[in-house]
Amino acid sequence: MIKSGTWVEIERVLLKPEQRAANLPEDTAKTPYLLRLSGFLQEDAELGQEVRVRSLIGQEHRGTLRLVNPSYSHSFGSTVPELLAIGRDL
Amino acid sequence: MRDLSYAAVMARKNEIMKASMGMDYNDFIQSPVAFDYERMMRETGYSLEDVVRIQSQAKVGNTPLYELTNLTEAVRRTAEPGKGARILVKDEAANASGSFKARRAAISAYEAQKKGYKGLAAATSGNYGAAVASQAAMRGLKCIILQEVFDSKGIGQPEIVEKSRACEAYGAEVQRLSVGPELFYQLLMTLEETGFFNASLYTPFGIKGVETLGLEVAEQVRARYHKDPDAVVITHAGGGNLTGTARGLLAAGCNARVVACSVDLAGLHMASDTDFNKKSFTTGHTGFGVPFATWPDRVDVPRNAARSLRYMDEYQLVTQGEVFFVTELLTKMEGLERGPAGNTSLTAAVTLARQMDRDQIVVVQETEYTGAGKHHNRQLSFARENGIEVRIGDPSGNIPGKTIVIPEHLDQVRGKVQDMDHLRRSYLKNAAKALPAAQWTDNDYAFLAADIKSSVAWVKQNIAQI
């Protein structure tokens, strides 16, 4: 059970493939248009349930509960050795 | 009950825009192609003095201008005798939120607050999101940023993931979206639902905000070198950076050559789910630069205040590999670690400086912050993870989406010049789609000629051949 008030991420389908804009490339056209958003859970729930959250500015959004305590893990990446040589021999 | 289908929301575009900006574009529109651009800039913008004052109260502007002496010397060693202009860089990373975009956001946030809006919303995957969020934070306004972040596998472009983080750090709601142009649909829905101000990148307020950048470049170069810059190089995507800077230069009476520069991503489709994570640049590339130059009115406002061909003298293309190389050189030789998007114009400046005389000055008018996700090491490692070959060699071997070739030597940084007349003709073709050329009036011809920095005679001669 995930407690109400927990910082979570939801996902919602905004447009199904058949509802999307015209003239999309084929690969994009066959996918749904998705929203992901983080907010404070408004009721006790389990992952995968339809829930309500409030965003950082207090707006209410609905969606499927996807993650608990969503975090940023982007990085500087694994070292690209080709960059190390640059600037040493000028 | 409002109809929330794609077609219905798009059909309400004009009324939503009017409510969310407190201005009516119909006051300025003259025909499907022409509108009174200067009157719109005058009446809905601010004076340059107003902009300077608003920005100085919002931790924006008056950024340092540095001479890159080591890089200049290195370029001179690859140039003909007597060639090798001084390269200067305007360190726009010093603005609140870390990029020149704060100049645009500062005026939008001021305007939103003045008109009594409770919050701002903007659809942007670039630095502008963090800029709006930062300006909203200091004014106590709510902020919603909509970003195109991840592909259908759920994988986010690291640079945009970093921008999501920055926006949330400033207290904004971030709507992270999958790949597709429906970002605009979701923006309209959000504006309609919240009644927030549309902090579009392309309003007169936003473009007015960038004019101070051109003004500062002219004033700082004159104060230090007692002359005007000979060329100003501007990373070009949607056109606001170029338009605002060029207008600021002109306001200062400076006639420096205005050079646009974009990363060449020819062949990659901007709305393609599979191509999305094959790009190592999320802005400042030809996927935006060329379509926006050749038809500015493809944006989230009825008429775009960013009109790059109106001010552009030259358009340089560079490869991803060249930009990464020059970004690394800036770090190692000049002790400035900055983000790749801002360094796109620095890459073109290397080529230009090599062709220009030693006593001339070329100004790179922006830098941006770098860090996790944005850093060029991450972009290159991400490219490798997505099956893109990364190697050292001749940058002419770059194939967008397939191969990134990092130059071995500075003299391999050569760039490529685009044919300006070809771009102008593309613009005219697009104008003829908006209104058949047979119906163009004298006013339309005059507008189109000004909008592509050409003459009515040239427009007439070329449209006849199209």
CATH of domain A7-72: 2.30.30
- Which tokens hold the place of B37? 């651009």
Are B140 and B30 members of one domain? yes
Q: Is residue B233 part of a domain?
A: yes
Average pLDDT over residues B184-209: 95
Please provide the average confidence, as pLDDT, over all residues in chain B. Answer: 96
Q: What's the CA gap between B168 and B165, in Å, rounded?
A: 5
Q: What's the CA gap between B314 and B348, in Å, rounded?
A: 11
- Higher-pLDDT residue of B342, B10: B10
**Is B208 strand, coil or helix?**
helix
How do strand B119-123 and strand B142-150 relate by DSSP bridges?
Answer: parallel
Of the candidates B171, B194, B378, the beta carbon closest to that of A75 is on: B378
Going B230 to B223 to B225 to B54, the CA torsion angle's sign is: negative
Q: What is the CATH number for B360?
A: 3.40.50.1100
Q: Are B463 and B437 in contact (CB under 8 A)?
A: yes
Q: Which of residues 18-77 of A touch B (CB under 8 A)?
A: 19-21, 24-25, 27-28, 31-39, 55-59, 72, 74-77
How much is the pLDDT for B88? 98
Are B304 and B178 members of one domain? no
Q: What is the pLDDT of residues B256-303, one digit of tens each?
A: 999 999 999 999 998 999 999 999 888 899 999 999 999 999 887 889
Helices of type H across A3-53: 26-29
Q: What's the CA gap between B29 and B133, in Å, rounded?
A: 31
The ipTM of this complex is 0.97
Q: Is the pLDDT of residue B239 over 90?
A: yes
Bridge partners, residue A68, by sequence: A8
Substitution target from B381, B398, B409, B412 for chain A, most A beta carbons within 10 A = B381
To the nearest whole angstrom, how far is the Cα of B162 from the nearest Cα of chain A? 7
Q: Are B132 and B108 in contact (CB under 8 A)?
A: yes
Q: Is residue B89 part of a domain?
A: yes
Q: Work out the pLDDT band at A90, boundaries 50, 70, 90.
A: low
Are B459 and B413 members of one domain? no
Are B147 and B233 members of one domain? no
CB–CB contact B173 A88 (8 Å) = no
Q: What is the pLDDT of residues B336-380, one digit of tens each?
A: 999 987 899 999 999 999 999 999 999 999 999 999 999 999 999
Residues whose CB is less than 8 angstroms from the CB of residue B11 and which lie 6 or more positions away in sequence, other chains included: none
Q: Is residue B31 part of a domain?
A: yes
- Going by C-alpha positions, the residue among B134, B61, B79 that lies closest to residue B365 is B61
Q: What is the pLDDT of residues B423-466, one digit of tens each?
A: 999 999 999 999 999 999 999 999 999 999 999 999 999 999 88
How much is the pLDDT for B299? 80
Number of domains in chain B: 3
To the nearest whole angstrom, how far is the Cα of B233 from the nearest Cα of chain A? 23
Substitution target from A38, A54, A80 for chain B, most B beta carbons within 10 A = A80
Q: What is the pLDDT of residues A8-43, one digit of tens each?
A: 999 999 999 999 999 899 999 999 999 999 999 999
CB–CB contact A90 B156 (8 Å) = no
Of the candidates A21, A39, A59, the beta carbon closest to that of B181 is on: A21
Q: Is residue B185 part of a domain?
A: yes
Are B197 and B79 members of one domain? no
CB–CB contact A59 B171 (8 Å) = no
Domain end, chosen from B173, B203, B233, is at B203
Amino acid symbol at B424: R
Q: Is residue B51 part of a domain?
A: no
Are B336 and B265 members of one domain? yes
How much is the pLDDT for B60? 98
Of the candidates A19, A35, A76, the beta carbon closest to that of B372 is on: A76
Q: Are B184 and B107 in contact (CB under 8 A)?
A: no
Q: What is the pLDDT of residues B307-329, one digit of tens each?
A: 999 999 999 999 999 999 999 99
Q: What is the extent of the structural domain holding B449?
A: 428-465
Q: Are B185 and B9 in contact (CB under 8 A)?
A: yes
CB–CB contact A90 B329 (8 Å) = yes
Amino acid symbol at B29: I
Ordered by start, the domain boundaries in chain A are: 7-72
Are B120 and B209 members of one domain? no
Q: Is A14 on the interface with B (CB under 8 A)?
A: yes
Q: What's the CA gap between B441 and B447, in Å, rounded?
A: 10
**Chain B residues close to A55, C-beta within 8 Å:** 144, 173
Q: Is residue B354 part of a domain?
A: yes
- Going by C-alpha positions, the residue among B19, B376, B405, B14 that lies closest to residue B191 is B19
CB–CB contact B119 A24 (8 Å) = no
Are B142 and B261 members of one domain? no
Q: Is the pLDDT of residue B121 over 80?
A: yes
Q: What is the pLDDT of residues B130-141, one digit of tens each?
A: 999 999 999 999
Q: Taking CA B383 as the corner, what is the angle to CA B382 and CA B386, rounded to the nearest 5 degrees? A: 90
Residue B157 burial (10 A CB sphere; 0-12, 13-18, 19+): buried
Q: What's the CA gap between B221 and B226, in Å, rounded?
A: 7
Are B277 and B328 members of one domain? yes
**Chain A residues close to B152, C-beta within 8 Å:** 31
Are B34 and B62 members of one domain? no
Are B226 and B333 members of one domain? yes
Q: Are B236 and B293 in contact (CB under 8 A)?
A: yes
CB–CB contact B165 A90 (8 Å) = no
Q: Which residue of B lies nearest to A12 if distances are taken between CA atoms?
A: B177
DSSP conformation letters of B306-326: --GGGT-SEEEEE-HHHHHHH
Q: Is residue B389 part of a domain?
A: yes
Q: What is the pLDDT of residues B378-415, one digit of tens each?
A: 999 999 999 999 999 999 999 999 999 999 999 999 98
Are B26 and B63 members of one domain? no
Q: What's the CA gap between B366 and B312, in Å, rounded?
A: 17
Average pLDDT over residues B24-44: 94
Q: Are B290 and B237 in contact (CB under 8 A)?
A: no
Quickly count: other Cβ atoms within 10 Å of residue B350's Cβ: 28
Q: Are B129 and B167 in contact (CB under 8 A)?
A: yes
Q: Work out the pLDDT band at A89, boundaries 50, 70, 90.
A: low
Domain end, chosen from B203, B218, B233, is at B203
**Chain B residues close to A37, C-beta within 8 Å:** 173-176
Q: What's the CA gap between B85 and B83, in Å, rounded?
A: 6
